[in-house]
Amino acid sequence: DAKTTQPTSMDCAEGRAANLPCNHSTISGNEYVYWYRQIHSQGPQYIIHGLKNNETNEMASLIITEDRKSSTLILPHATLRDTAVYYCIVRVPDTGNQFYFGTGTSLTVIP
């Protein structure tokens, strides 16, 4: 699997957009970018995924650069409940379907 690099921690003011970057410069053409988050003491929760195009759902938006070497997860209006560790995962589709988690970004939403 391609390695991902994320900042260790970030702060965001409540109500503002949280922009979480991820570098995946060695991504291959058939690898998807997934984002998960883990709120304290809970299981990881799926947020969004994409291949090339930008994606949006009810939780977040995913912006993938044209060269696919980096992406940004955007939480448009961060709330206190968005405080969590956010994981960016690049996944090979044909090697057992597993997800390899890195160290993630610890996002703290500040009141």
**Interface residues with other proteins (CB under 8 A)?**
30, 32, 34, 38, 41-46, 49, 85, 87, 91, 93-94, 96-101, 103
Q: What distances in angstroms separate CA 47 from CA 3, 35, 67, one per listed residue?
A: 19, 5, 22
**Locate tokens 């988690």: which residue?**
101
Q: How far apart are CA 25 and CA 74, in angstroms?
A: 20
Residue pair 102/87 in contact by the 8 Å Cβ criterion: yes
How many residues in total does the chain contain? 111
Identity of the residue, 67 or 94, whose beta carbon is nearer to other proteins in the bound complex: 94
Q: How far is the CB of 107 from other proteins (least distance, A)?
A: 14
**In angstroms, what is the minimal distance from the CB of 47 to other proteins?**
9
Tell the smallest beta-carbon distance from residue 37 to other proteins (Å). 11
Nearer to other proteins among residue 17 and residue 26 (C-beta)? 26
